[in-house]
Amino acid sequence: MRAREHGGGIIDLSQGTPVDKTPDFIQEALSAATNSPSYPVTIGTPELREAMRNWATNILGATGDFDVLPTIGSKELVAWLPSILQSKTVLYPKIAYPTYLVGSMIHGAEAIAVDIDANSWPKSDLAWINSPSNPTGRVHSISEIQSVISYARKNNSLVVSDECYLSFPATGPAPASILKIAGGDNKNLLAVHSMSKRSNLAGYRAGLIVGDPDVIAEIREVRKHAGMMLPLPIQRAMTAALSDEAHVVEQAERYAKRRELLSAALIKAGFTIDFSDAGLYIWCSRNEDCWSTVSWLADLGILTTPGIFYGGAGSKYIRIAMTATDNQISEAAERILESI
C-alpha cells in the first residue's frame, strides 16, 4: 500500500512473473490448435516428445538413457511430486522456493532443509536442488553437482534438479544441467524445466521433466489416472517454443541489461549483492532486517520481496525480480539513485 501511494506509481519487482510478450509464433501455434475435441495424451504428442528429446540433448546436454514427460507448469510438479512418489523424507535447500516445503507438507513427508554441500545430507527419498536458484541467483559449481550425483548413487535417493532458470546466465560460468554432468548415467536423477520464464509462457502452464526412465515411468503411471494432462493446444505451443532458441537468447539479453542497470544503482545506494549470477533475481542486503529494506524501497514506490519468505537464512536480504518493463526498471534505478 505504501508503494502504491508513490506519486510516480508503483513498480512491482516482487513477483517473478514475466511481463515481456509471448512470441508471436508460439501464440500462433496455440491458436491453430483450438479444435481439440479429444483427451490429450499424458505422455505428449509424438511431435512434442521429439521436441523435448531434441531439446534435452542439444540444450541440456543430456546423454545416455533418459525419458521425457510434459507437465502442467513446474510449480504443480514440484508441489505434487512427493505425493506421486510417496516420498517419506524430502530434502530442500535452506534458502529456497517455498513450494518444495509445501509439496512435502501436502504429502505429510518429513521435510529437512539442507546446506548446498551434498556430503552433509542425511539419507532421503527425494532431494531438491535448484540452480540457478530462486531467490539467490546462485549457480551450483560443477563439483557441487558432482557431489549431488554421488549422493544419489550412494544412497539410492532420487535427486530432482529444478533448472527452470538455466536459460538466463548473468555473470561467471554458464549454469549446467545435472544431466550433462551425469555423463549418461541418469539413474535417480531428474531435471525439471519450465516454459514460463524461458519463453514468456507462464500463463500457458507448461513444463517438462527429463531423466531416469524408471522414475518417469512411475510418474507417468500415476498421472494416467490422476490426470494433470497438458491440454493439447498447450502441447502444440510448447512444441513450437522448444524448437526455437533465438527468442530465449533475446529474453536472456533483456534480463541481463535490466540486471546491470539495477545492480549498479543498488551498489551506489550501499547495497551488497550476493550470488545473483544467473536467473531472474537480484539477492541483496543493506545488512538490516529485510522488512526495513522492503519498507525503504516501498517509500520509493518499489515493491520487493523480503528474504525471510525463503527461509530464516534470508532474514537480512531482499529479492528483486527483473520482471518489469525496461522503462519501469530504468525508473526504479533512477528513484534509487535520486534517494542517495
Q: Is 207 in the site for ligand PLP (CB under 6 A)?
A: yes
State which residue, 184 or 203, has the beta carbon closest to ligand PLP: 203
Q: Is 196 in the site for ligand PLP (CB under 6 A)?
A: yes
Instruction: Please choose, out of 54-62, 68-76, 235-243, 305-313, the segment that lies near ligand PLP by the rule CB under 6 A.
Output: 68-76
Q: Is 125 in the site for ligand PLP (CB under 6 A)?
A: no
Q: Is 290 left (phi over 0), alpha (psi -120 to 50) or beta?
A: alpha
Q: How many CB atoms lie within 10 A of CB 253?
A: 11
Q: Is 22 in the site for ligand PLP (CB under 6 A)?
A: no
Sole binder of ligand PLP in the list 130, 177, 200, 235 (CB under 6 A): 130
Least separation, in Å, of the C-beta of 154 and ligand PLP? Answer: 26
Contact 168, 248 (CB under 8 A): no
Instruction: Please choose, out of 18-26, 40-48, 72-80, 293-301, the segment that lies near ligand PLP by the rule CB under 6 A.
Output: 72-80
Instruction: Please choose, out of 73-81, 103-111, 142-150, 293-301, the segment that lies near ligand PLP by the rule CB under 6 A.
Output: 73-81
State which residue, 147 or 196, has the beta carbon closest to ligand PLP: 196
Sole binder of ligand PLP in the list 13, 16, 157, 199 (CB under 6 A): 16
State which residue, 97 or 336, has the beta carbon closest to ligand PLP: 97
State which residue, 200 or 265, has the beta carbon closest to ligand PLP: 200
State which residue, 32 or 106, has the beta carbon closest to ligand PLP: 106
State which residue, 45 or 130, has the beta carbon closest to ligand PLP: 130
Q: Is 164 in the site for ligand PLP (CB under 6 A)?
A: yes
Q: Is 131 in the site for ligand PLP (CB under 6 A)?
A: no
Q: Is 162 in the site for ligand PLP (CB under 6 A)?
A: yes
Size of the site for ligand PLP (CB under 6 A): 14
State which residue, 75 or 286, has the beta carbon closest to ligand PLP: 75
Residue type, 253: E
Dist CA 114 CA 90 (whole Å): 10
Dist CA 284 CA 223 (whole Å): 40
Sole binder of ligand PLP in the list 14, 104, 134, 235 (CB under 6 A): 134
Contact 90, 100 (CB under 8 A): yes
74-113 binders of ligand PLP (CB under 6 A) = 74-75, 78, 97
State which residue, 319 or 335, has the beta carbon closest to ligand PLP: 319
Least separation, in Å, of the C-beta of 101 and ligand PLP? Answer: 12
State which residue, 49 or 205, has the beta carbon closest to ligand PLP: 205
Sole binder of ligand PLP in the list 23, 40, 73, 137 (CB under 6 A): 73
Cell numbers given for 112 = 529437512
Reduced 3-state DSSP string for the chain: CCHHHCCCCCEECCCCCCCCCCCHHHHHHHHCCCCCCCCCCCCCCHHHHHHHHHHHHHHHCCCCCCEEEEECCCHHHHHHHHHHHCCCEEEEECCCCCHHHHHHHHHCCEEEEECCCHHHCCCCCEEEEECCCCCCCCCCCHHHHHHHHHHHHHHCCEEEEECCCCCCECCCCCCCCHHHHCCCCCCCEEEEEEHHHHCCCCCCCCEEEEECHHHHHHHHHHHHHHCCCCCHHHHHHHHHHHCCCHHHHHHHHHHHHHHHHHHHHHHHCCCEEECCCECCEEEEECCCCHHHHHHHHHHCCEECEEHHHHCHHHCCCEEEECCCCHHHHHHHHHHHHHCC
Q: Interface residues with ligand PLP (CB under 6 A)? A: 16, 73-75, 78, 97, 130, 134, 162, 164, 194, 196, 202, 207
